[in-house]
């Protein structure tokens, strides 16, 4: 028991044990989808941002959201399963950091980031903002992100998941080559 | 959404975030280094989760305890293009 608690408190688990935990959660999500008969239930994250946007836009322009094909057929606006789960992800991530005693607020997170892009916080904020737009836009086009499509689709053997992962690694490797050049 | 559904979504989300944090995937270098092939934690984490979940999901389905959910739609050009845009963002800024 002491060993288990000590392992939980470790800063970094073996990726295999963390993967087992996520796999079990994936099974639970599928069980919940069966139990609640809610087609919106999925192990996803990126769709939540779209639902939140749709829900907020409903407050000021409900006609536009009601007519919008995307919000009618692809992502439902408002508080969906993924929105609640995303909130849980923030709490869970924080709990993970608190349990290992590494919880702190930081503006400049990474040694490796500073080596690649310099120490400027402005650069970091601008780049992360642009990167996040690309992420969310790409996820919107593909129909999911690394969790909603690659993991949730992959565990159901959906071809889309593997096509997505192929595309992601193709440009991801190229981008890393550009960023790190000779230090690759 | 009913109250039990919200509670379960929150609990599973907490577990998801906990697993991501403990695998170290909340850090820039973990995400970027998988694209540099210097740290494959992301792949190890994802593939382990896939194997465990697949075994459980298809096992429970074979026992008739579970209805397989509707998988994400496949539309190859969109999936691929979206993945390629996603990859630039993911590898560029490590989120």
Closest CA of chain B from A43, distance in Å: 9
Taking 80 as the threshold, does the pLDDT of residue A37 lie above it?
yes
Q: For residues A119 and B65, is the Cβ–Cβ distance under 8 A?
A: no
Closest CA of chain B from A133, distance in Å: 8
Of A34-43, A84-93, B37-46, the poorest mean pLDDT is in: A34-43
CB contact under 8 A, B91 and A150: no
Split at pLDDT 50, 70, 90, the class of B67 is: confident
Region B16-22: mean pLDDT is 95
B62 touches chain A (CB under 8 A): no
The two three-digit tokens of residue B23, written as one number: 């695998």
Taking 90 as the threshold, does the pLDDT of residue B43 lie above it?
yes
Among A134, A165, A176, select the one facing B85 at the smallest CB separation. A134
Split at pLDDT 50, 70, 90, the class of A72 is: confident
Enter the DSSP assignment of A109: -
Q: For residues B32 and B90, is the Cβ–Cβ distance under 8 A?
A: no
pLDDT of amino acid A30? 92
Taking 80 as the threshold, does the pLDDT of residue B48 lie above it?
yes
- pTM of the predicted model as reported, rounded to 2 decimal places: 0.92
Contacts of B14 in chain A (CB under 8 A): 88-89, 91-92, 95
ipTM of the predicted structure?
0.93
Q: For residues A85 and B8, is the Cβ–Cβ distance under 8 A?
A: no
The C-alpha atoms of residue A175 and residue B6 are separated, in whole angstroms, by 38
pLDDT in tens, A98-139: 999 888 887 766 788 888 888 888 998 999 999 999 999 999
Region A133-161: mean pLDDT is 92
CB contact under 8 A, B69 and A95: no
The two three-digit tokens of residue A78, written as one number: 């408002």
Number of A/B CB contacts below 8 angstroms equals: 346
Among B16, B22, B50, select the one facing A89 at the smallest CB separation. B16
Split at pLDDT 50, 70, 90, the class of A170 is: very high
Q: For residues B94 and B31, is the Cβ–Cβ distance under 8 A?
A: yes
pLDDT of amino acid A161? 94
Enter the DSSP assignment of A11: S
């Amino acid at each position: 028991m002491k060993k288990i608690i000590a392992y939980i408190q470790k800063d970094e688990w073996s990726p295999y044990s963390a993967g087992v935990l996520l796999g079990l959660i994936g099974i639970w999500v599928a069980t919940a989808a069966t139990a609640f008969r809610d087609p919106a239930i999925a192990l996803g994250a990126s769709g939540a941002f779209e639902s939140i946007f749709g829900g907020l836009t409903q407050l000021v322009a409900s006609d536009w959201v009601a007519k919008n094909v995307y919000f009618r057929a692809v992502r439902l606006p408002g508080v969906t399963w993924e929105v609640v789960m995303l909130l849980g992800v923030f709490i869970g991530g924080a709990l993970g950091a608190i349990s290992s005693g590494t919880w702190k607020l930081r503006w400049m997170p990474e040694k490796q980031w500073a080596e690649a892009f310099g120490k400027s916080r402005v650069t970091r904020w601008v780049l992360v903002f642009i990167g996040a737009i690309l992420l969310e836009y790409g996820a919107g086009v593909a129909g999911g992100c690394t969790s909603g499509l690659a993991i949730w689709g992959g565990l159901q053997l959906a071809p889309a998941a593997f096509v997505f992962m192929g595309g992601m690694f193709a440009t991801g490797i190229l981008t890393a080559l550009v960023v790190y050049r000779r230090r690759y | 959404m009913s109250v039990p559904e919200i509670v379960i979504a929150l609990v599973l989300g907490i577990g998801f975030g906990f697993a991501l944090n403990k695998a170290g995937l909340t850090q820039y270098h973990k995400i970027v280094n998988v694209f540099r092939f210097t740290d494959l934690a992301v792949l190890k984490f994802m593939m382990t989760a896939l194997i465990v979940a697949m075994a459980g999901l298809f096992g429970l389905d074979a026992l008739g305890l579970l209805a397989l959910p509707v998988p994400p739609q496949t539309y190859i050009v969109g999936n691929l293009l979206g993945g390629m845009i996603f990859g630039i963002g993911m590898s560029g800024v490590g989120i």
